[in-house]
Structure 1
Amino acid sequence: MRKLLVIALVGLAAQLVDGALGMGYGLTSTTLLLVAGVAPAAASASVHLAEIGTTLASGAAHWRFGNVDWRVVRRIALPGAIGAFAGATFLSALSTESAAPWMATILFTLGAYLLVRFSRPLRRNPAAGQLRGRFLGPLGLVAGFVDATGGGGWGPVATPALLVSGRMEPRKVIGSVDTSEFVIAASASLGFLIGLGTGGFLLPMVLALLAGGLIAAPIAAYLVRIIPAQMLGAAVGGVIVLTNARVLLGTADLPSAVPVVVYLLLAAGWVTALVLAVRVLRRTRREGALAAATAPVDDAATHAEGTTSADADSSTRALSGADR
């Protein structure tokens, strides 16, 4: 019972992260399950089964608020489902000894990516036109495969790629990725069911994850207004990097001093990323405050210019009338 309570808290924490960043439920919950001693394939299978419920609720909410581009969902979901099914089948065939370093490598890489992404501003290239299928198809295929084999990765791979394209509103990027993730979670679960059987799903753990996620959903919607995504992304990225570095270092036969040095270097990188995230956040807030402060001045200047022009026109008309 105590372990299930911990798992429910894991689901709650993962949903809080996902609600604030638009990504990270699978990434966070799988990492924490591995720390709790769950086998890699069972962790990914259980997380994806729980995600069927959380992504369905999330997708319905995004659809209700008009945050979904169904054209993008259709073109990214099918390749993503194929990639997720293939990834689940691949992971199911690996032994626990082989799967642990494989999954840790993927999670470590995605955690490092979160550190880099949220320690600097996201640059978007303005572009016109719709996203093409030849871009969405391969993106969905890769993101789906990474998601199933790593226990998470659909959001961290798909969301930034769509944002950087500059051809979609950020709210529609997050809404479309979240909505399509329901198909990816279902496809991955089917792959794990075929590869592992029903015994591969730890149902009490799935229910605990789902319960925690559903409880956290409304809280996350509120916290997203308070907690800066910049700071949360860098913080979560560092936790994921350090946690999975422990697994990777444990698989190698290294002198005792080497892991200590690696941990210190990673910790220094994490602190650096947090400092950069704070600077980016402050700069963004200053620019926002400056823009808000100059807007009324510009409006007043425009109004004054218009009034002056009107007065000048009136004077001109008056002089013309006097001449006549």
Structure 2
Amino acid sequence: MRALVLLGIVGFLAQLVDGSLGMAYGVTSTTLLLAIGTNPAAASATVHLSEIGTTLASGVSHWRFGNVDWKVVRRIALPGAVGAFAGATFLSWLSTEAAEPVMAGILLALGVYILVRFTLWGTPRGNLGKPLRKRFLAPLGLVAGFVDSTGGGGWGPVGTPALLASGRIEPRKVVGSIDTSEFVIALAASLGFLIGLGSENIDFAWVGVLLLGGLVAAPIAAWLVRHVPPRVLGSLVGGVIVLTNVRTILRSDWVAAPELAQNLAYLFIALVWAAAVAFSVRAHLAQRRLDAERPAAGSREAGGSDESEPVPS
């Protein structure tokens, strides 16, 4: 019972982050399931089955708040579904011993990317309003879908930063469009896992609890996306993913690092993580001050110009 309650809390927090940041539900939930010894393919299958409900609820919530660009959803969802089905089939074929460090490595890479991407660069806004073309969205969806299934998460970590980096649509619409299209990816991945694994290898009680937590968080996250700074949230989430998956890799049979080396690695990561979060907070506050000063400076310039010029007779 305690494990189910904890999973419900994880589902709530993971969806809260995912709906606000456009990523990390699958990565966060799968990381936890791996940490407690779940079969990698079963962990990814559990998460994707729960995502069918959470992404549907999240998509509806984002739609109601006006956070969805339907052209982007249409162009990225189908290639993403193809990649997700292929990735699920591939992961189901791997043995548990081979899959665990492989999945942890993928999750670690995604965690590092999230941490570095949001800490150093924030969310770019150039080229706003320019169209996103199919020749960009289709390959992006295919790769993101494959990574999502094999890594237990990755649709958001691959798709969201790529769309943000383009600077062509508003950050809130990037988050809403990625979350909405993920419903199709979750369906395709779940189908691939059910074919590859069979339903007997999936704990549907865990699926239900993760789903329940995510459903509660979905509307809150759709509202928070307008208020929570993505830069800070990205740094926080990236650090959690990096720390947890480094732990999995160091304890795996592939590495089997001694306890002292593990503890030193955890300490180093914790220090880097704390510095990254502090940097993101300072950068966010500096940007807020800059944004606040711009209109004030414009008003002063306009006022000074009016006073300095002679009034025509």
- TM-score normalized by structure 1? 0.88
Find the counterpart in structure 1 of residue 105 from structure 2.
105
Aligned position for 1:236: 237
Q: Residue 159 of structure 1 aligns with which residue?
A: 160
Q: Measure, in 2, the Cα distance between the counterparts of 1:288 and 1:39.
A: 48
Bigger shift: 226-235 or 271-280?
Answer: 226-235
95-104 vs 284-293, which moves further = 284-293
Residue equivalent to 1:192: 193
Query: How far apart in 2 are the matches of 1:13 and 1:54?
Result: 12
**Given the superposition, is the C-alpha separation of residues 172 and 227 from structure 1 closer, same or farther in structure 2, using an over 3 Å criterion?**
closer
Change (3 A) 1:282 1:99: same
Q: Residues 93-125 of structure 1, C-alpha deviation per residue, up to 9 Å, x if partnerless?
A: 111111110110011111111111221233344
Contact 2:110 2:154 in 1 (8 A): yes
Equivalent of residue 282 in structure 1, options 276, 280, 285: 285
In the other structure, the counterpart of 1:202 is 203
Gaps of 5+ in 1: 316-324
Between 1:253-262 and 1:85-94, the stretch displaced more is 253-262
Q: Which residue of 2 aligns with 1:267?
A: 270
SS of the residue corresponding to residue 37 of structure 2 reads: coil
Q: Which protein has the larger Cα radius of gyration, Structure 1 or Structure 2? A: 1
CA gap 1:210/1:45 in 2 versus in 1, 3 angstroms: same
Alpha-carbon distance between aligned partners in 2 of 1:159 and 1:232, rounded to the nearest angstrom: 14
Please tell me whether the aligned partners of residues 145 and 155 of structure 2 are also in contact (alpha carbons under 8 angstroms): yes
* In structure 1, C-alpha distance between the alignment counterparts of 2:299 and 2:126, rounded to whole Å: 29
Q: Is the 8 A contact 2:58 2:222 kept in 1?
A: no
Of 193-202 and 116-125, deviating more is 116-125
CA offset digits 1:20-41 (Å, max 9, x no partner): 2122111111112222322211
Percentage identity across paired residues of the two chains: 61
Post-superposition Cα deviations, 1:124-170, rounded to whole Å, max 9, x if no partner, equal 44277422222111100110001111111101111111111122222
Deviates further, 3-12 or 225-234: 225-234
8 A Cα contact 1:115 1:233, kept in partner: yes
- Tell me how far apart the structure 1 counterparts of residues 129 and 295 of structure 2 sit (CA, whole Å): 27
Measure, in 2, the Cα distance between the counterparts of 1:37 and 1:253. Answer: 16
Aligned AA (1:253): A
Q: Indicate conservation of the 8 Å contact 2:62/2:222, yes or no.
A: no
Q: Cα distance 1:128–1:274, how it changes in 2: closer, same or farther (>3 A)?
A: closer
Q: In structure 1, how many angstroms separate the alpha carbons of the residues matched to 2:220 and 2:69?
A: 25
- Cα 1:246–1:82 shift into 2, 3 Å: same
CA distance in 1, matches of 2:295, 2:128: 26
CA contact (8 A) 2:61 2:219 kept: no
Partner of 2:141 in structure 1?
Answer: 140
Q: Does 1:16 align with 2:25?
A: no
Q: Could you tell me which residue of structure 2 aligns to residue 179 of structure 1?
A: 180
Q: Quick check: 2:125–2:170 contact (8 Å CA) kept in 1?
A: no
* 8 Å Cα contact 1:31/1:240 also seen in 2: yes
Offset at residue 267 of structure 1 (A): 2.2
Structure 2 runs not aligned, ≥5 long: none
Q: Which moved more, 1:263-272 or 1:232-241?
A: 263-272
Q: Measured at CA, do residues 63 and 216 of structure 1 come closer, stay the same or move farther in structure 2, by a change above 3 Å?
A: closer
Aligned to 2:219: 218
Per-residue deviation, residues 265-312 of structure 1 (Å, max 9, x unmatched): 22232122122212211211221221243243245346657xx57x41
